Structure formats: C-alpha cells, structure tokens
Amino acid sequence: MTDRILHRTRAIDAAIESLDGAFFKALCEPSRVAVLKRVMQLGRADIGEIAQGLPQERSVVSRHLQVLLEAGIVRGTKVSRQMFYEVDGPAVVARLEAILEHMKSLTPFCCPGAS
C-alpha cells in the first residue's frame, strides 16, 4: 500500500469517526434547535424556565433536552431535586473543530479542485 493510499485511508477513517450520528441527529430537528437556542439565551436554567418560552409541552421540551444531553451539546447539573441545563460550549466547539480538521485532511483525497 502506498503512502498516499494509507494516508487517504486514515483520513477517511478519522473523518467518519468524527461524524457522530447522535450529534447531528440532535441538531437536525427544528424544535430541538429551538430548545437549544432557548438554553443559549437563558444560560443555566431549569426545565420550567426553558419550556416557558416555547410552544411545546414541558414533557416534549424535556425529551429534547435529553437528546441534547446524550449528544453532549448541553450538560445537566442536579441541585436537590431540580435539574439545570446549560450549553456545553467547550464540548461543542471541540466536536466542531475535530470535524473541521478531519474534513480538511480528507479534502485533497475526495474533492476535485481542492488544493
């Protein structure tokens, strides 16, 4: 196997690994993105505060928050019996930067006209 083919294979594998389905699934639902925007606006907030500004039922907002939590986009902190949510900015930035770097390394192998 030549060095170019080996490098291409590694670049493809790294790019595929970075394309986490849960992360993209969490961001592809408009209602869920609205929940994420609300959390961004409020900062650290509980389900009551988050749901108050949204048209969905509180239970639906809670399910959206759970998907965002599982995807590593928001984090939850339990205080007594109450759960507070906030955007996990460093985790989101790290995920997006990893995707960008992997795609940059893959571009010369897969995209015509790339330099």
Phi, psi of 31 (to 5 degrees): -65, -35
Per-residue pLDDT tens over the stretch 45-80: 999 999 998 999 999 999 999 999 999 999 999 999
CATH number at residue 20: 1.10.10.10
Of the chain, the percentage scoring pLDDT greater than 90 comes to 61
**Domain-embedded: residue 112:** no
How many domains does the chain fold into?
1
Contact 72, 88 (CB under 8 A): yes
Per-residue pLDDT tens over the stretch 72-84: 999 999 999 999 9
Helix (H, G, I), strand (E, B) or coil at 45: strand
Q: What is the mean pLDDT of the chain?
A: 89
Quick check: 112 pLDDT over 70?
no
**Domain-embedded: residue 62:** yes
**Domain-embedded: residue 115:** no
Cβ burial of 21 (10 Å; 0-12, 13-18, 19+) is: exposed
**Domain-embedded: residue 114:** no
Contact 58, 64 (CB under 8 A): no
Quick check: 8 pLDDT over 80?
no
Determine the average pLDDT of the residues in 22-45. Answer: 95
Quick check: 4 pLDDT over 90?
no
- Domain holding 102, by residue range, is 3-107
45 CB-side CA count, 13 A = 20
What string of DSSP letters covers 59-97?
HHHHHHHHHHHHTTSEEEEEETTEEEEEE-HHHHHHHHH
